[in-house]
Amino acid sequence: MKLNIRLIALLLSLIMTLGIFASCANVGDEQTSEPEEQTTEAPAITDEETSALDAPKTYDIIVNGESMTTIIRPKDLTSEDPAVAAAVKVRNGIEDAVNVKVKMADDFKKATEEFDASTLELLVGPTAHPQVAEAIAGLTYGDYTIKAVGNKIVIFGFTSSAISKAADEFAKIVDQYKVETADGKVSVSIPAEALNIVEQHAGSKIYSEVPAFDGATFSATYKS
């Protein structure tokens, strides 16, 4: 009987000892385990924010007497079209101001191609570039704009007189920011804040009261 009691006591003592070791092991695991890292996803960047990040602070259209840009007009138009006439006026205005020739092309591209957003270009009139649609959003028919969007400078007006006025204003900006070096070479660096112009054309109050609609093109009326 005494042997059984001793055996039971020994077994109870062994169980308690094992329990203490197990508890110590658990405590050690808790102390050495590293806290779980909490990760938060960065907010998504929108296309507009990306354009803003990519937009230059200055637009170097002429550097040491050489043109760094191309004038782009809408394709499939005759020389009498207001957009083409305005594009020619922009080119002549730059050449008169700095005596530097600037290339001119249209917005033709294949269906499988995309416009190069990284290229500095002067977009005159309703070209197919997405930057034009962004620049003219909210304009009325009486307005014209000169607006920097990404690497593009949009020069736009809905009527022939309005876009002609925009071309004249851009020539004034070029003349304002031209700098001539000691060796006679000219550079034109236009700050981005100078390319955010929206003006109401004084030619017609009626035009200014009519909101523009998507896909609008130039038109004219004649008294008869």
For the stretch 8-26, pLDDT in tens is 666 666 566 555 555 545 5
pLDDT, tens digit, 9 for 90 and up, residues 81-131: 999 999 999 999 999 999 999 999 999 998 889 999 999 999 999 999 999
Reply yes or no on whether the pLDDT at 219 is more than 60: no
3-class DSSP state of 153: strand
Q: Which residue has the tokens 């938060």?
A: 40
To the question of pTM greater than 0.85 for the whole model, the response is no
C-alpha gyration radius of the chain: 35
Q: H or E element: which one contains 98?
A: helix 82-98
8 A C-beta contact, residue 212 and residue 158: yes
CA distance 213 to 30: 67
